């Protein structure tokens, strides 16, 4: 294994490890309204990413609408990732880490199907079997519980759609994130200045006065949400440059595995017996998907 590939794996593993333990961080902020957390996450991420880009004298990401098509894609990306971030935070603080992990397990398979539908990418037999196994697991869960696992599906589809959009955007990962958080900044202000517990009305900054009563530790953690968002993305971007992109097809399952372990063993969320059947199908799908990458040569350096 080459030195550059070894570095790439380290960057990628660190990125997915941080994403995997991210629920522990958001749980520290459970005293803050999840939609307010999302508002702070967007605006602080913008400050961090724009600061990095400005320090490199990179201003190209500011010209969002230089191309109408690119501008529309970035708007859609900003809305999609904002929805995904918000649902992720809400799921953690409402005790739905297991459903969240399920969503990120099936996300790569959703991405494969979206690629088939939009870009006419080929899907081989093993990937088809993997997708059908994942669908079977979701159907079993729906039948047993009497409702669709909407949190899992919403996270999987939103992140899959975000990845699809990013594939069509020509900007680098950091430039794209800068544009997306810039576009989403007005949304962050609406979120921060709204009172969601009393009907969602726009009430100006007074709606954040409850933060003054929170412990200093919680407020410090809240201020760090921009760094917490940008750091794994930076590591991911570094890893992408040093590794074949499809190698991440294997490494990306580290994050939902850590999410699942966190939900079961740290947050003590319920894991009924039928979940072993459901996750059995999902894990089988994941294994077959990884094997399919070997057969297509996509995990080779």
Q: What pLDDT digit, counting tens, does each position of 264-300 carry? A: 999 999 999 999 999 999 999 999 988 887 776 554 4
Is 144 among the domain residues?
Answer: yes
Is 249 among the domain residues?
Answer: yes
Is 301 among the domain residues?
Answer: no
What is the extent of the structural domain holding 179? 3-295
Which candidate, 137, 138, 100, 125, places its Cα nearest to that of 292?
A: 125
Which candidate, 253, 297, 260, 262, places its Cα nearest to that of 109?
A: 253
Is 212 among the domain residues?
Answer: yes
- Higher confidence at residue 96 or residue 9? 96
What is the distance between the alpha carbons of residues 156 and 153, in angstroms, rounded to a whole number?
5
Which candidate, 142, 34, 47, 158, places its Cα nearest to that of 104?
A: 158
What is the distance between the alpha carbons of residues 243 and 300, in angstroms, rounded to a whole number?
10
Q: Do residues 56 and 46 touch, judged by C-beta distance below 8 A?
A: no
What is the distance between the alpha carbons of residues 135 and 127, in angstroms, rounded to a whole number?
12
∠ CA 81-176-55, nearest 5°, is 125
Q: Do residues 77 and 165 touch, judged by C-beta distance below 8 A?
A: yes
Please give the full DSSP string across 99-166, using - where no structure is assigned.
HHHHHHHHHHHHHHHHHHHHH-----HHHHHHHHHHHHHHHHHHHHHSS--HHHHHHHHHHHHHHHHH
Q: What pLDDT digit, counting tens, does each position of 239-267 carry? A: 867 776 556 667 889 999 999 999 999 99
Torsion sign, CA atoms 19, 20, 25, 29: positive
Say what the pLDDT of residue 283 is.
96
Q: What pLDDT digit, counting tens, does each position of 33-53 carry? A: 898 999 999 999 999 999 999
Is 96 among the domain residues?
Answer: yes
What is the distance between the alpha carbons of residues 90 and 131, in angstroms, rounded to a whole number?
27
Say what the pLDDT of residue 65 is.
81
What is the distance between the alpha carbons of residues 135 and 258, in angstroms, rounded to a whole number?
22
Mean pLDDT over 118-128 rounds to 83
Is 101 among the domain residues?
Answer: yes
Is 300 among the domain residues?
Answer: no
- Report how many domains make up the chain: 1
């Amino acid at each position: 294994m080459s030195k550059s590939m070894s570095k790439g794996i380290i960057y990628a593993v660190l990125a997915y490890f941080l994403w995997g333990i991210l629920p522990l961080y958001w749980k520290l902020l459970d005293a803050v309204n999840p939609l307010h957390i999302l508002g702070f996450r967007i605006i602080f991420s913008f400050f961090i990413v724009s600061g990095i880009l400005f320090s490199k004298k990179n201003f190209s990401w500011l010209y969002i609408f230089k191309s109408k098509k690119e501008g529309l894609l970035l708007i859609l990306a900003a809305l999609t990732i904002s929805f995904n971030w918000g649902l992720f935070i809400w799921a953690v603080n409402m005790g739905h880490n297991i459903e969240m992990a399920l969503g990120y397990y099936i996300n790569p398979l959703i991405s494969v199907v979206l690629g088939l539908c939009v870009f006419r990418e080929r899907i081989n037999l093993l990937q088809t079997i993997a997708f059908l196994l994942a669908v079977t697991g979701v159907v079993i869960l729906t039948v047993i519980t009497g409702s669709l696992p909407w949190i899992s599906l919403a996270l999987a589809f939103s992140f899959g759609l975000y990845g699809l959009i990013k594939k069509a955007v020509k900007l680098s990962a950091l430039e794209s994130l800068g544009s997306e958080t810039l576009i989403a900044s007005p949304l962050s202000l609406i979120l921060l200045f709204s009172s969601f517990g009393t009907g969602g009305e726009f009430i100006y900054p007074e709606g954040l006065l409850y933060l003054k009563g929170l412990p200093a530790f919680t407020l410090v953690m809240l201020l760090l949400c921009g760094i917490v968002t940008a750091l794994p993305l930076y590591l991911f971007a570094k890893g992408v440059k040093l590794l074949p992109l499809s190698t991440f097809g294997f490494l990306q399952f580290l994050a939902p595995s850590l999410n699942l372990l966190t939900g079961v063993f740290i947050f003590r969320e319920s894991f009924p017996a039928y979940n072993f059947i459901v996750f059995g199908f999902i894990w089988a799908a994941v294994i077959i998907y990884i094997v399919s990458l070997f057969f297509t040569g996509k995990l080779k350096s």
